[in-house]
Structures are given as C-alpha cells and as structure tokens.
Amino acid sequence: MKTPEQLSFNLPFRTARSRGDFFVSHANTLAVQMLDDWQSWLQRKLICIGPEGSGKTHLAHIWAEMVAGHVFPADIPFDIPGDGAAIAVDGIDLIAKNPAAQERLFHLHNHLQATGGTLLMTARCGVTEAGFTLPDMLSRLQATAVVEIESPDDTLLGVVLLKHFADRQLTPPASVIPYLLRHMDRSFQAAADVVNKLDRLALDRKRPITRAMAVEVLETP
C-alpha cells in the first residue's frame, strides 16, 4: 500500500521562503553575507544578480523580514512608501523595456535615497545587459553595488531539487535525486523544469514519482 507521502496530488504548491528553508553554499554565501550586513551597503542600496531559480526572490523575502521591510515585484505597480523604508524590488530586469515601470523605480530610488531608506534590487543579469531605456535610471543602477549568485554546485543543486519537490508536497524515492544530479543540465532553471515535468507526469499517470520517470523525463526532448 502506498503511503500518502508517496502519492502525487494535484494541489497548489507553496513556495517556502523562511530563513530556515534557505540553504547556504559556496554559490550564494557572499550574497547571504551581503544581505546580513545590509547596514554597510554603499548609499544603502544593492543589486543581487543570479540566474533564474537561484533564490533571489527567497533572499529578498528573508531580507525584508529581517529589516521589517517590503518586497515589490518590479513589474507590478506599487505606491511610494513612507520615509526611511526598507524595500526590495524583485526582478528589475523585467522592466528594462517598460518606461512607466522604470519611472516608478526611479522615483522609489530617489525617495529612499533622500529619506535614508534602503533599497535591495534583484535581477537575472547586469543592468547594462538588461538594456534599461531610461538614462537617469540606468546611471543610478550602474552606480549601485552588485553581488552575484554563482552557478550551483552539486550540494546546492541537490537541495534546490529537494526544495522544489517539497514546495509541491512531493517526496521522491532516494534514487531520484542522485540520478538527476548526474544527468540533468547544471542550472537552477533546469532543476525547476525537471521537477515540474516529473510532477506533471506523475499526475497524468496517477502514480508516485519513480527513478524510471526521471530517466524518461530527461531523455524526452
């Protein structure tokens, strides 16, 4: 008989974002240290850069909780906060071609600078590469300190896989993670993609995830 944790259920998954859910490794330790030492940021602002799925949003929420601040998605309109606020703006590269959104970020940046606030921004790439079209915003971003999350090592990638499974309330057999680590692409996004495909396959077949499913998913273009 299959136990409940071995079955795949079509349930909304919950992304765990507490400090205890974040695994520190060589790839992200500098970013974690910089966020912990936020009071020493030059001009009280910082950009955290890392590939898709690297934990930038998770870190932004951890930081916001630590400083009693707020997280704003860059591509959703937000109100300018009170004086001296601590704000994280997540995914600023997503607004590089959006003049109105850049204008919002520009006014937020200037407001926080003028009132002693603190600004954390996250992005998947550098600001020049992102292609910001508002010159005044680009100049301010280029004058902001940057910390990067590196590509994952095996230890971190394994933890990322486990976290994606846990967010979906799935517990794969012990043989699945080592197999995935040996054969999957070495990226945070690949980890998210393979777990999503395994979840869908298990749901379609109404069966728990197996190593054979992992082989099938990785061998299917």
Residue type, 190: A
When pLDDT is averaged across residues 85-104 and rounded to a whole number, the result is 97
Confidence of residue 7 (pLDDT cuts 50, 70, 90): very low
What per-residue confidence (pLDDT) applies to 20? 54
Q: Is the pLDDT of residue 14 over 50?
A: no
pLDDT tens, position by position, 178-190:
999 999 998 888 9
What per-residue confidence (pLDDT) applies to 1? 34
Look at residues 18, 118, 19 and name the one whose alpha carbon lies nearest to residue 69: 118
Q: Residue for token digits 């004086």?
A: 83
Q: Which residue has the higher pLDDT, 9 or 157?
A: 157
When pLDDT is averaged across residues 114-123 and rounded to a whole number, the result is 98
Q: Is the pLDDT of residue 18 over 80?
A: no
Range of lowest pLDDT (20-24, 94-98, 99-103)? 20-24
What the chain holds in terms of domains, given with CATH numbers, is 21-148 (3.40.50.300), 152-219 (1.10.8.60)
